[in-house]
Amino acid sequence: MLTYAMEQRGDLSLYEYLYRCIRRDILSGALAAGERLPSKRALAEHLHLSVITVEGAYAQLEAEGYVHTLPRRGFFVSPVERTAPAPTVPAPAAEPEERAWRLDLKRNRVDMARFPVSTWARLTRRVLSEDGAALLRPVPHQGLPALRQAIADDLRHFRGMAADPAQILVGAGAEYLYLLLAQLLGREAVVAVEDPGYPKIRQVYGSLGLPCRPVPLDGQGMDPAALAASGASVAHLSPNHHYPTGLVTPIARRQALLRWAEDTGGYLIEDDYDSELRFTGRPIPTLQSIDRGGRVLYMNTFSQTISPSMRLGFVVLPPALLAEYRRRLDFYACTVPALEQHVLALFLSEGHYERHLARMRKEYRLRRGAVLAAFRASPFAHRIAISEQGAGLHFLLRLETGRSDEALRQRAEGLGVRLGFLSEYAAVPDGAHAHTLVVNYGGLEPAALPEAMALLAEVFAE
Amino acid sequence: MLTYAMEQRGDLSLYEYLYRCIRRDILSGALAAGERLPSKRALAEHLHLSVITVEGAYAQLEAEGYVHTLPRRGFFVSPVERTAPAPTVPAPAAEPEERAWRLDLKRNRVDMARFPVSTWARLTRRVLSEDGAALLRPVPHQGLPALRQAIADDLRHFRGMAADPAQILVGAGAEYLYLLLAQLLGREAVVAVEDPGYPKIRQVYGSLGLPCRPVPLDGQGMDPAALAASGASVAHLSPNHHYPTGLVTPIARRQALLRWAEDTGGYLIEDDYDSELRFTGRPIPTLQSIDRGGRVLYMNTFSQTISPSMRLGFVVLPPALLAEYRRRLDFYACTVPALEQHVLALFLSEGHYERHLARMRKEYRLRRGAVLAAFRASPFAHRIAISEQGAGLHFLLRLETGRSDEALRQRAEGLGVRLGFLSEYAAVPDGAHAHTLVVNYGGLEPAALPEAMALLAEVFAE
C-alpha cells in the first residue's frame, strides 16, 4: 500500500500533499504504468485520511492524465514519460542596462517638469470617480468615439485638416500603427523610405518582410523621380518635419508627390512626427489636407508631446483603405486601454493639450536659443556648422574633423557622452552624411550647458 | 499692386489673412509662376500695414514653397500646381454598429459589478499621487520591472511555473503578442493551429503571411502524429483550456507534444486563455513548467479576468528565443502605458488579483450551476447534450435539430438573440461540428434565465 509521511506536508493541505506524493511516484517510475492504485477507502484507512481527501487527490490526478479509471475496477496508473533530469538550458541573458550618461545628445528625454502631470492625474481621477465602469466597457476596435472626435477637432482647429472620426484609428504608438498599416497595404507592397530616415520604420517593415527602398532626399524631401524609379507602391514620408534633417517639404514638391500617388495608384504615409514643435510661423498644410484623390494616410502620436510612456497614436485612413481595413483587419481589438482614451479625450477637448503645447513651444524655443548660443560661443565654434529649421527638439551639427564618426563616438563614450550621428540614420552609406551630429537638446537644461560644452570640447579636440 | 480687403479678415490676424489671400491667388493662377511680388515696403504702404506684417506673410509663403527669393531682386511666385476641384472621394463608410441583443450567447461581457473598480481606482490614485512622474518615465521595452516581477511571482505561486522576470515580455493584449511572436519565429515558420480554434489566431498569422496548418483535435487535444504530418515548425495550443471545446490536455499528451518540439527543433506556443477560471481541483501544470528543452513560449492576458478594455498580456520566452528577441526585435517599445503597468503591478503584488479571482470563481461557479440547471429544466432539455469540463465562461451545447446552423442563426437574429456555433471556429468544415452551440454564459444573470430559456425555446422550436 502507498505510504507517505503525511505529517511532513508543511503548509500543504492533506489532499494537495497526497496528490503530489503520488504524482512524484508516477513520474519517477516507482508507480508503473498499468499499476492499480489502492481503492479510495483502503488508502484513506491506511493513511488515516478521510475518503474525501483521497477522492480529491485521485480526481486531480485523473484530470491531469496521470491516472485513469476503468469501470468498476478502480484507478490505474497511466503511461506517462519519466521526468528526465533537466538539461542545462542557458540562463536568460541579463537585461541590457541603460548606462547613466554625463551628457546624452542621442536621445530626447521628455522634460517631466513641463508636463501637467497634476492635470492628467485630476482628469484620471475624474474619469474613475464619475464613471469607473468605463474601465471595463468594451471600446470599439477603432478607438473610443469621444477620443476620435477630439482628435478630429484638434486636426481641424490646429492643422486645417478635415478628418471624419470614422476615418480615425487609434493604436498603441507609432510602431504598432506601422505594423497595422503594413498589413493593410498588403504583402505585395514595396515601401519607399526616406534616406536618411528614422530606422524603426525600415525595421518594422523589414521585420514583416516588406521590401523597403531607401530614396535619397534632396533639399526639398523625397524626389518624385527617384521615388518613381524605386518601384515602390507606397512612400513613407515626414514632409512636415523630417527626422533627423529637419527638412520641410515645400508645396510644389508635395503636389508632385501627390501626383505620383494619383498616377500610379500608390499611397503616401504622412508620418507627422514632431510637427507640433514648430517654433516659427504657421504650421505647414499637411499632405492629407491637400489630398484630393484619397491617396494619403496621415499618422501622428502623442509620444513627443505628452510622453513616450503613454503609448498612443492614430492614423487617418482615406476612404478606400478604411473600407479595406474594415473588411480585412477589423478583427484587431483596439490596443490602447480604455482609461487612457477617456483621459486623453478630456485632455484634448478641454484645451489642456493646446495650452501644454503652447507652454512647451515657449520653453523649448528658449532652450533652443540658449543651446545654439552656447554652441556658437564654444571653443569649437569655428569648426561647426549648424543647420536648423526652427522646428523640433533637435538640429544637425556638422563638425570639421579628421576623425571618423566611430572614433568620435568611442572617445565620447570614454568621457560618458552619448552622441548621435546622421550616418546612423542612413540606409545606404553616403560620405555626405559623415561628421554630422544629430543634437537632441530636449534634456539639456540651461544650467548644464557650460559643463556640456566643456565635455564636447574634449570630445571634439583634434 | 496686390489689393485685398483687409477689413474682411474676420478673426484672423492681419499677417494670417494676407498670407491666405496671396496663397489663394497663387493656387488659382491669378499670380503666375515667375511673377515678382511687390516689395515688402511697397505692399505695406499700399495696404496700410506694417512692414513686419508683410514680412511675416512672405516668410510663411516662402517656408511653404509658394514663393522664393532671388538675391537682391525680391520675392517671386514659385511654380505650383493649380488646385483642381476636389474629385468625389467616397465618404467614409459609417462605422458598423453593435446591435443591442435581447440575449447574447456569442460573446462574454465581463461582468462589471464583479471587478473591484474602486480598488483599481484607489491604486491608480496612489500611483499618481506618490509618483506622478512615473507616467512619463521611460519603460524598458520588455515592460516595467516591477510588473514583470509581480507576474513571475504570480506564475510561481499559482501555476508552479519558474519564470525569470527577464524572460517576460509585456504587450498590449493577445493579438499584439501574436504579431510579435510571428516576427520572432521568422517568416519561414509554419504554424499548426487547433481546429476548431480561436479564429483570431489564424487571422493574425494569416495577415502576416505565415502559413497556418489546422490540426484536428482528438479527445486529448492536438494529436502529435497529425502535428508531425502537418509539416508545421510551431504549434499554437491552449492545452490548459481549449476554446471553445473546453478540452484539457492530459499529462502524457503534453509530454508527447514536448517530445515533438524537442525532436524537430519546433516550438510550442502555450496560449493560456481562460485557465484562471477553473472551478474544480488544482490548475493543471502548464507545458512551460514541464518543458526541459526550452521549447515552450507561454502566454496569457488579463483580458478575461480583469477587462478586455485593459489591453495587457505577456509572454514568457525560452532562453534561446529571448536572445533572438533581443537581437532582432528589441527596437519595439513596450506598447502598454506606464500607468497601467504600475497599477497592475500593485494589484498583483498586494494580493488584490488573487482575491478578485477567488471571488470570480465563486460567482461564476454559482452562475454556471444556475445556467446549467435552467438548461436542464428547459422545455428543450430532452433535445440537448451539454459538454463541460468545469472551466471557463462557456460550454458546448449540442442540439438535436433538423435545421442547419445558418437557419438557426437567422431565426435567432429575428428574435434578437445572438448565438455562437462551434462550426464558426472550424478552419476546415466538418459535419461533426454542426448543431453545436458555444454558450458564453458570462453575462447571463440568474434573474434573466427564465426569459432566456423562453427565447431559446422559440429559437429551437422545430
Mutation target for B interface from A282, A296, A344: give the one with most B CBs within 10 A. A282
Contact A233, A190 (CB under 8 A): yes
B384-387 and B394-399 beta bridge pairing: antiparallel
Report chain B residues whose CB lies below 8 A from the CB of A308.
Answer: 138, 333
Summary count for chain A: helices (H), strands (E): 15, 15
Does position A276 have pLDDT exceeding 80, yes or no? no
- The C-alpha cell that represents A293 in the structure block: 484623390
pLDDT tens digits, one per residue of B129-159 = 888 777 778 889 999 999 999 999 999 887 7
Q: How many CB pairs under 8 A join A and B?
A: 286
pLDDT at residue B83, as a whole number: 58
Tell me if A307 and B135 make a contact (CB, 8 A cut-off): yes
| ipTM of the shown complex | 0.82
Q: Residue B100's pLDDT band (boundaries 50, 70, 90)?
A: confident
DSSP state of B160: -
A3 CA to chain B: closest CA distance, Å? Answer: 22
pLDDT tens digits, one per residue of A407-459 = 999 999 999 999 999 999 998 888 888 899 999 888 888 899 999 999 999 99
Closest CA to A103 of A460, A371, A441, A429: A441
Q: Mean of the pLDDT values across residues B184-199?
A: 94
Tell me if B121 and A128 make a contact (CB, 8 A cut-off): yes
One-letter amino acid for residue A153 of the chain: D
Average pLDDT, chain A: 88
Does position B315 have pLDDT exceeding 70, yes or no? yes
pLDDT at residue B89, as a whole number: 54
Tell me if B96 and A133 make a contact (CB, 8 A cut-off): no
pLDDT at residue A88, as a whole number: 46
Closest CA to B184 of B332, B85, B362, B343: B332
Could you give the 3-state DSSP secondary structure of residue A382? helix
More confident residue, A52 or B179: B179
pLDDT at residue A87, as a whole number: 43
pLDDT tens digits, one per residue of B36-69 = 888 888 888 888 888 889 998 998 888 888 899 9
Give the C-alpha separation, A214 to A227, whole Å. 9
Give the C-alpha separation, B308 to B216, whole Å. 28
Could you give the 3-state DSSP secondary structure of residue B87? coil
Report chain A residues whose CB lies below 8 A from the CB of B96.
Answer: 326, 330
pLDDT at residue B109, as a whole number: 67
Contact B168, B148 (CB under 8 A): yes
Q: Mean of the pLDDT values across residues B228-242?
A: 95
Give the C-alpha separation, A83 to A28, whole Å. 7
Tell me if B93 and A164 make a contact (CB, 8 A cut-off): no
Tell me if B89 and A293 make a contact (CB, 8 A cut-off): yes
pLDDT tens digits, one per residue of B241-254 = 888 888 889 999 99
pLDDT at residue B442, as a whole number: 82
Tell me if A309 and B259 make a contact (CB, 8 A cut-off): no
What sign for the dihedral angle of Cα B365, B371, B375, B378?
positive
pLDDT at residue A108, as a whole number: 74
Q: Which of A251, A329, A336 sits opposite B66 (nearest CB)?
A: A251
Does position B84 have pLDDT exceeding 50, yes or no? no
More confident residue, A200 or A5: A200
Give the C-alpha separation, B439 to A70, whole Å. 31
Residues B28-32: contacts with CB under 8 Å, at least 24 apart: B28/B82, B28/B83, B29/B82, B31/B2, B31/B77, B32/B77
Global pTM value: 0.83
Q: Mean of the pLDDT values across residues A302-318?
A: 87
Which chain B residue has its CA at the smallest distance from A331's CA? B200
Taking CA B110 as the corner, what is the angle to CA B105 and CA B113, rounded to the nearest 5 degrees? 120
Contact B442, B364 (CB under 8 A): yes
Give the C-alpha separation, B419 to B423, whole Å. 12
pLDDT tens digits, one per residue of B266-299 = 999 999 977 777 766 556 789 999 998 999 999 9
Half-sphere exposure of B241 (CA within 13 A, CB side): 20
pLDDT at residue B156, as a whole number: 86
* Alpha helices per DSSP H over A132-269: 145-159, 174-185, 199-207, 224-230, 251-264
pLDDT tens digits, one per residue of A156-177 = 887 778 899 999 999 999 999 9
Could you give the 3-state DSSP secondary structure of residue B103? strand
* Alpha helices per DSSP H over B89-159: 117-131, 145-159
pLDDT tens digits, one per residue of A212-251 = 999 999 989 999 999 999 999 999 999 988 888 888 899 8
Which chain A residue has its CA at the smallest distance from B128's CA? A121
Q: Residue A282's pLDDT band (boundaries 50, 70, 90)?
A: low
